Structure 1
Amino acid sequence: MSVRAKTALYGLLCLMAVPFVFPTWWMVTSSVKPVSEILSWPPSPVPTTFSLDGYREVFEIQPFAQQYFNSAYIALVVTVGTMAVSALAGYAFARIRFPGANPLFLFVLTGLLIPSEVTIVPLFQMFNTWGMIDTHWPLILVPILGAPSVLATFIMRQFFLALPDELEEAGRLDGLGRFAIFWRIALPLARPALGAVAIFTFLHSWNLYLEPIVFLTTPANFTLPQALTQFVDAYGGPMWDVQLSAASMTAIPVLIVFVIAQRQFIEGLAHTGLKG
């Protein structure tokens, strides 16, 4: 490809990226503007008056640091738990032959067809019976044992199906048992798939909204998506500078993680394929 063609292609790609990049740019730059400038028309791409009052008020109105920690540790626990469950289940469905394996796997996949809104009421009743309302246990157990883990199990199964049988045979000749083969041979090779599972699981848990507003009532227990809805004035109107400051602090770390790990994410999905 000639230099002129490459320049035209990159220019076209940059132009097409504007509708996706501009909202994030406007959110971040508006978070350091006064409210009068945020609502001005036409919108200014860069702030003319720089102010950090919104960031200061975020931590004064709510226990935002605690809420940030809540989202971070819940997402981390859910990610690790989902990786463990999906890796074990995916390996079992892919490499262990047992009666009814395929029908059972199809039954597990039906979990992807059930919207979370359908199960939220029975889940609330169940966790209420267990005394877990207004705790973080529902936000940890439901994703690990629910639909996100089902999708992760599917990805891991597809990856393990593609592993050559000779690897397991070599492990058996070395005297390895089933779990040792999984732990020492299959799991290290599954790092691309595990990376993909980790990224989409972390993002799903970080952005979870329905379950927190159903299960949590104490502001100190809120996660970030729920906390973002609480930045309103005495009349219920939005506090634009504070909301945008909180949204920027919520979104930017996730964007950084995704940009850094997107190559591994795509590689992991490509490795899973649709074999089997």
Structure 2
Amino acid sequence: MKAELSPRRQVFLYGLLCVLLIPFVFPTWWMVTSSVKPISDIFAFPPQLLPESYDWTTYAKVFELQPFVKQYWNSAYIAALVTIGTMIVSSMAGYAFARIKFPFANAIFMVVLLGLLIPSEVTIVPLFQMFLKAGMVNTHWPLILVPIFGAPSVFATFVMRQFFIALPVELEEAARVDGLGRFKIFRKIALPLARPALASVAIFTFLHSWNLYLEPIVFLSSADKFTLPQALTQYTDAYGGPMWNIQLAAATLTALPVLLVFIIAQKQFVEGLAHTGLKG
């Protein structure tokens, strides 16, 4: 049995955790409160924890200066398609590497993992040339296809492979006795048991796609096709300077889905990492 902490130690522990929490919470608090401050108060020193006056018109201007609803939809549906596509590709690839014996399986898997070591900046020019020849520049296809078959999918494949390796082989042997083939074993037995790992893959894939910045600024040029990270850079005044309060209001709206997704699915995320051996 675990020894219970004394009240004094509990108070000390919770106080220490609150202090350590400040560097993580303060930037978000500053973003939200500064979104309703006048620009002159945003960089005041010492920082103001609460605004002296609230200017809620900044949120209205977010939608007036940019087609923000359209850009929000762009990020949402792209992230959804990338998440679903990555879950499908990584689960099938991870199961194949974990359970199907074929020549040079481990060597091929190591080559696949090498994709994680290649920075996206190195491959962006060849990818641009390829999509330009295919007539897909200034469309959302590069933002969907590259993550599904690129580095995010490689990491997701690694997570799924680790999970499937840990599954008892006896489950598959019993299914074969019942006459199930390889694909039905995957679909009816392995995949339902892999829900914690799939939840982890879904969360970090969604976050990666939602926050993607380099690829949108390379492939997109029309404001109505922008995604949110690219749209945030467009809130500038007549001299090209950032309109900080409006930009922070847009950033606050952009961060909401990410916080909601993680709050709702954090239990599954932790469970998935625990089952795949990635926990610290």
Q: Tell me, yes or no, whether TM beats 0.5.
A: yes
After TM superposition, give the deviation of residue 253 of structure 1 in Å: 2.1
1:178 matched to 2:179? The reply is no
Residue identity in the other structure for 1:9: L
Structure 2 partner of 1:69: 73
1:78 matched to 2:82? The reply is yes
Number of residue-to-residue matches in the alignment: 274
Q: Which of 25, 28, 31 pairs up with 2:32? A: 28
Q: Which of 231, 235, 243 pairs up with 2:235? A: 231
Q: If the length of structure 1 is used for normalisation, what is the TM-score?
A: 0.97
Other structure's SS at 2:157 match: helix
Structure 2 partner of 1:249: 253
Query: Distance between the aligned counterparts of 1:27 and 1:106, measured in 2?
Result: 42
Other structure's SS at 1:134 match: coil
After TM superposition, give the deviation of residue 62 of structure 1 in Å: 0.6
Query: Distance between the aligned counterparts of 1:125 and 1:35, measured in 2?
Result: 42
Identity within the alignment, %: 72
Query: Distance between the aligned counterparts of 1:253 and 1:87, measured in 2?
Result: 25
Query: Distance between the aligned counterparts of 2:50 and 2:261, measured in 1?
Result: 25
Residue identity in the other structure for 2:73: F
Q: If the length of structure 2 is used for normalisation, what is the TM-score?
A: 0.96
Q: Which of 179, 202, 208 pairs up with 2:206? A: 202
Q: Which of 132, 137, 147 pairs up with 1:133? A: 137
1:164 matched to 2:168? The reply is yes
Query: Distance between the aligned counterparts of 1:165 and 1:41, measured in 2?
Result: 62
Q: Which runs of 5+ in 1 are unaligned?
A: none
After TM superposition, give the deviation of residue 146 of structure 1 in Å: 0.3
After superposition, residues 38-187 of structure 1 pair within 5 angstroms as: 38-187=42-191
Superposition RMSD on alpha carbons, in Å?
1.0
Residue identity in the other structure for 1:44: Q
Residue identity in the other structure for 2:72: Y
Q: Deviation above 3 Å: which 4+ runs of structure 1?
A: none
After TM superposition, give the deviation of residue 252 of structure 1 in Å: 2.4
After TM superposition, give the deviation of residue 270 of structure 1 in Å: 1.2
Q: Which runs of 5+ in 2 are unaligned?
A: none
After TM superposition, give the deviation of residue 267 of structure 1 in Å: 1.4
Q: Which of 203, 218, 224 pairs up with 1:220? A: 224
